[in-house]
Amino acid sequence: MELIKILFKMIRYHRKDYMLYLYCNIFTMALLLAFLSVCSNHSLMHNYQVDPMIADNILFPSLMVCLFTLLFLPYAYEAFLKGRKQEYSVLMTLGMTEREVIANMFLECFAVSSAGCIMGLVCGSGLSVLFFLFLRRIIGITPIQWEFHARAYLAAVGLYALVIILILLLNIIRILKANLSELLQAKWKEERKQKGSKALLFLGCAVFLVSILSMLYVFYSGKTNFWLLSMGSFLMGTFLAIFHSDSVLYKNSSRKWKISFGLLLQNLKSWKIVTIISSCLFGLIVFFSGLCFTIYSYSMHNAIAYSPYDLFYVRDQNSNQMELEELEQILNRHGISLVSQTQVCVLRSGAFNILSADEINEKLGKDYHPCQGSFIQLFQEDLKDGYEHELLPVENVTIKLGDSKKLPLALQEQRIEILFNPCKSLADTTLIVNSDDFKRIAEQSEEYFLVNAILINLDNWKISGPAIAELQNCMAASNNFSQEAQYLSSLSSKIGTYTIEKQSSEVLIFWIFFVDLMFFGAANVTIYFKIKSELKEDTRMIYHLYRIGITEKETWNILFKKNLCYYLPSLIMGIGFGIFYCFSVNSIYHYGLMGFICAGLTAAAAVLLQFFLIFVITRYEYSEVNPFP
């Protein structure tokens, strides 16, 4: 009983560490559950009214959140346990058995993790509701709503429990394997380091340079898959350089920084690990944010480029039968006027859309001249849209006509041009043929059927949303299709595409904001754990300096510079990494400058926030170590 009281006293003494570890657990669990809830939400993920472009944006951030859970929870537990290990080793010298230590560790871990899990589930549920409110109310994805899915909770708890059990088991094995003298000296042993090697430092720098050169190669060769390889070697080079940075660091430091470096060098090994982790996190923040903002800007451009007509739809015998007068009436009711209207005949099958060259030339003012028996393959794409394009040519097409006859068509040329809006009623590949061939196919083919593509321009597309929604509803009412069939017959409009692109980019930015928040929080918690674990040593060292005559201002400066040494290298490396890759990856897709600016702005925001946090942390540390009466 007395021992339990003692253990409670110890817990009370370490309550700040417990709370920090608990917050880490709650934070991780809440994000994990919120993202998994969104992923398993039917109204978002399996809804014909929500474009897959919007829905799929959750997948990558969710993957990042799962990865984060796998990596951050063990780190937080390790950092938490680090402070407790010394106490356990003292208790073991006094006669506490391994079994008692393990039982205690298990109880502690179970209690904190369970509390973290429960509170995380509550916060995560609240967060997921907020996510949906934000998506509905602010971004405007109205068809979605929050749903309760037990499997999201099960998956979150399962992953969380798995990670906790694994790290607990790992630490129990470590305790069982270590002997007591090692545990007593664990901290010092950990820091007992070999001096960094200059050769490996140069090798790191060389790998770093190679990664930059390989990125140039990627840029000029167009082999875009290489950029991940370049990113990997960049990180490897940076790791090597950081691990061996001490071979030049201390000797070459100026007098003003020597004491701060001295504080840092006491725990060099853990500094290196912390710097590597946080530089990766900072780098990913800058890279992802830069990428998101770049995607946002070119998505807006693409929405207009890919929708040359304000309204486009396909009409056949069964669907979208609406007279032009009725259409105009609906538009007019919403204050929109029709400026121009064109109809083009399209022959379509499951694989191809076939257009008549003469009709296209006449009605759309184009200049296509396919010979008889051949076709022009049209790629309706903008090569500078920020995405990778694979233009696969169709060499020959044979069209079955009636009475077992066939019409063989050969590729005459390829053209890259956007003729009309993307439309779910049409096939992906468009061929333009001679008018005689077109006529023959229309009259004799059984696999191709004739539809009318209606191309409309309005006087003000930006306010055409409600009008087009009403048109869509009217057509759906007259079509009387199943939900899926109606989805395939839906109208394509500039405002619709623009809205989807805008919402999709905003949703992506929203998710990435959370991923960034998570990474930024993790980077700062990692460094904070480190600074806190060294507080006692720093207090002793500052006290010694105080006794030999250091002033208050100098004490502040030493601590501030030491904290800069913790944060700045990782921040600078992270920013360098993020900006460089955001620029170079976007350069491949013609948006390099935009990528550079977006990453630069994110980096500037991160630097400002980080400096503020360094100031806050230094103030806390100064109040703890300050020896002045």
Binding-site member from 184, 265, 407, 601 for another protein (CB under 8 A): 184
- Residue 179 engages another protein in binding (rule: CB under 8 A): yes
Binding-site member from 24, 39, 91, 249 for another protein (CB under 8 A): 91
CB-nearer residue toward another protein: 183 or 471: 183
- Residue 173 engages another protein in binding (rule: CB under 8 A): no
Alpha-carbon distance of 327 to 492, in angstroms, equals 15
Question: Considering the complex, what minimum distance in angstroms separates the CB of residue 536 from another protein?
Answer: 9
Cα 72-78-81 angle, rounded to 5 deg:
140
Binding-site member from 16, 52, 97, 612 for another protein (CB under 8 A): 97
Please give the distance of CA 83 from its chain centroid, rounded to a whole number. Answer: 33
Question: Considering the complex, what minimum distance in angstroms separates the CB of residue 95 from another protein?
Answer: 2
Alpha-carbon distance of 86 to 187, in angstroms, equals 8
- Residue 612 engages another protein in binding (rule: CB under 8 A): no
Binding-site member from 51, 78, 87, 554 for another protein (CB under 8 A): 87
- Pick from 148, 20, 145: which is nearest to 81 by CA? 20
- Residue 10 engages another protein in binding (rule: CB under 8 A): yes
CB-nearer residue toward another protein: 87 or 381: 87
Question: Considering the complex, what minimum distance in angstroms separates the CB of residue 136 from another protein?
Answer: 49
Q: Helices H, strands E: what count in the chain?
A: 23, 9
Contact 531, 621 (CB under 8 A): yes
Q: What is the DSSP string of 456-498?
A: EEES-GGG-HHHHHHHHHHHHHHH---HHHHHHT--EEHHHHH
Question: Considering the complex, what minimum distance in angstroms separates the CB of residue 182 from another protein?
Answer: 8
Question: Considering the complex, what minimum distance in angstroms separates the CB of residue 620 from another protein?
Answer: 18
Q: How far is CA 352 from CA 254, 355, 428, 440, 499, in A?
A: 71, 10, 7, 16, 28
Interacting residues with another protein between 465 and 484 (CB under 8 A): none
- Residue 3 engages another protein in binding (rule: CB under 8 A): yes
Name the one range near another protein by CB under 8 A: 86-94, 116-124, 341-349, 390-398.
86-94
CB-nearer residue toward another protein: 99 or 553: 99
Contact 430, 422 (CB under 8 A): no
Question: Considering the complex, what minimum distance in angstroms separates the CB of residue 619 from another protein?
Answer: 21
Q: What is the DSSP string of 142-169?
A: TT------HHHHHHHHHHHHHHHHHHHH
Question: Considering the complex, what minimum distance in angstroms separates the CB of residue 185 from another protein?
Answer: 10
Binding-site member from 53, 59, 70, 96 for another protein (CB under 8 A): 96
Q: Hey, which residues does 348 pair with through a beta bridge?
A: 353, 449
Name the one range near another protein by CB under 8 A: 25-33, 162-170, 176-184, 566-574.
176-184
206 residue type, one letter? A
- Residue 194 engages another protein in binding (rule: CB under 8 A): no
CB-nearer residue toward another protein: 104 or 503: 104
Q: How far is CA 596 from CA 69, 513, 520, in A?
A: 30, 18, 20
Contact 249, 261 (CB under 8 A): yes
Question: Considering the complex, what minimum distance in angstroms separates the CB of residue 191 from another protein?
Answer: 16
CB-nearer residue toward another protein: 15 or 424: 15
Per-residue binding letters, 45-84, with another protein (x by CB under 8 A)? ----------------------------------------
- Residue 623 engages another protein in binding (rule: CB under 8 A): no
Name the one range near another protein by CB under 8 A: 95-103, 317-325, 420-428, 463-471.
95-103
Please give the distance of CA 589 from its chain centroid, rounded to a whole number. Answer: 18
Q: Please tell me the count of residues contacting another protein according to CB under 8 A.
A: 24
Question: Considering the complex, what minimum distance in angstroms separates the CB of residue 57 from another protein?
Answer: 48
- Residue 16 engages another protein in binding (rule: CB under 8 A): no
Maximum CA pair distance of the chain? Answer: 106
Alpha-carbon distance of 629 to 627, in angstroms, equals 6
Alpha-carbon distance of 272 to 283, in angstroms, equals 16
3-state secondary structure string across 91-117: HHHCCCCHHHHHHHHHHHHHHHHHHHH
Interacting residues with another protein between 98 and 117 (CB under 8 A): 98-100
CB-nearer residue toward another protein: 34 or 91: 91
Binding-site member from 45, 92, 411, 607 for another protein (CB under 8 A): 92
Q: At what angle do helices 535-547 and 494-533 cross, to 10 degrees?
A: 60
Q: Which uninterrupted H or E stretch holds 235?
A: helix 226-243
Residues that bind another protein (CB under 8 A): 2-3, 6, 9-10, 12-14, 87, 90-100, 179-181, 184
